[in-house]
Structure formats: structure tokens, C-alpha cells
Structure 1
């Protein structure tokens, strides 16, 4: 007998006896990766908060806001804020400053316009006292000037409201006393 045909028949019968079976291979994709990224909501950049200026301010006849310069403790007012010939002609309030801050005026504080007679007052729209601008000074406020050539004038027709208390007096003084703390007995 020929061995070759017999071996071939044996292999074919072995293959024919094999079924496709019950083994099904279904490939699946499992993502075992780890997300190591960090989400940090604190990375926002906020706009810087502007420090509020507690100094007195007013709007001039040109519509421009004029205000004192705040240095963190005191308010300084240049002659461009108020001085002789640069009178404040609108209502204004001088607030109390925190931590004993001082309002430092480099020029005189003129409120209202000077009028020589009643006809000038009438022409300016001031029919009676108090029709002009009002200066209000809050209890506890301290106002200081560099020397005795600088002062406060409340012109005819204008008003000043300044009501201090025993606990919060209103003080008008010199910068050598209020700011520098070096006033002597003769100052």
C-alpha cells in the first residue's frame, strides 16, 4: 500500500472531524491609560482692584472731576484743586479719613465767588444767603495748611456745615502739627 495516499486521507479525515468550534475571538479595546493633567481653577488673572480714593472731589464747570491725591493715609490737594482765583463753585464734602488721615491743602480753600454788592449776588443767581455752594466737613476730619498764608474763605452766599463731636472733633491746623508732628509752642 502506498503510504502517501493513506497519510493524505488520514489528514483530510482529521480536518473534516474538526468543527469550527465555539471559540470566538473578539478583539476589544480597553483604555487603561491615566489622565494626569491638572485642572486648576485658581489660574485666573483678575484685574487689579483699584484702591478707592477717599479724598474730597468735585466736578468743575468743564465737566472734569477734580480730586485730592490719596497716598494711603492722607489726602493732598494742590492749588489746582482750590486756591485764590480757583474757587470751588459747587457743593463739596470733606470726609473723615480712616486712621487719623489728614486733608493737606497746598493752597487756600475758597468756596463760592466773591461778590462786592447785592447786584453782583443777584446777577450770580444768589438771591439770599445759602444759594451758593456748600462746604460740608464731616465729624472727625482734620484739615491742614502749610503756613498762615493759606486759609479758608466761605464767600458771601455760600455755606459751611461742620458739626464735630467730642469723640470726633473737626480740626483746622498746620501741616507741621498734623502731619510732621513738630509744632512748637510758638507755632
Structure 2
């Protein structure tokens, strides 16, 4: 309809039926007014620096970041993890939601079933950004539930995308053991973050 849409993720364009024209490059400003839009290069002293946490955690899996689909990138991380850190187990489960793609990649590469062993309460916000440890732990308790009938008596590989403080990881292991998992093997699909974005 002639409108212009600027978004940080391509999935937002899909939702409103907009077409991706191109990515905004480092050093550019897009000016939109009643006459259309123009792109201004305000500096050439730039380099492309994408925050790895976009691929690992923040971005939706149906988004593309500079031509790389987030789901595909996460799936490749899981497959690489399976090659680097194999373990004998009965199944792979991903921590919902951002680890599901990596779990799929791990399971495919390892030749194991990818099961839904954890359910996420969709009404609980991201817990790692809570201001206190007590609030983070409370949020994690409310955020995830184990599917007892899936994990009971099973050797489970749990794929999570990252460890920020470890609060969620500890709770997941506890949840799965309480649900009767015979073994719980945590695997993290992202490498250690060494530098801030």
C-alpha cells in the first residue's frame, strides 16, 4: 500500500505482508518522510558486527539476519554440538523455545528421537533479566514443567542455548530428575561468550 516498514527482524515484515528490500548497513541512516525514503551514509568508518546472541537466543527462528535463517543457524549449532559432545542416551529434548532448533539438529545428527520433555509457560517473561536472584529462581520455577511420561526412566540429553547465570540449568536438571529421568546430560549449543555486543 505504499507504506514503509523498518524492523530489526525479518519475521516482523512477514507478519504485516511487507517485502524485504535490503538490510540497513553499518554507517547508514534511513530517513522516511512524506516524499518517500532515502538512505544516508553518515560514516564509512564501520564494520559489520552482529551480536551472536541474536542467532543464539533473541531472534525468532523464522527471521533471517543478513541472509542467514536463525532456525537453520541454530540447527547447525546443535548438529555441531552432537559431533563435539556425544553421549549415549534415549532422547534429546530442547529447552523451549529458543533451544528447540538446536535440539532438532543434535537429534538428527545423533540419530536420536527429539522429544518434547519440557513445556514452557508462555506467560512468564525471560528470567535472566530479573533484578534479583530470588526473582530469577521464582520465574524459572513457574516457567518450565517436565513431561513425566516422556522422560521417566529415560537417559535424556537436554539442549539449552546458553548459560547466563546457571539458574535455569540447575532447575531443569532438578525438574527432570524429579520427573523420573534416569540420566540428565546438559549440552549448551552456543560457545562461551567472551566479548560484549
TM-score band by shorter chain is under 0.3
Relative to its length, the structure with more helix (as a share) is 2
- TM-score, normalised to structure 2, is 0.21
- TM-score, normalised to structure 1, is 0.22
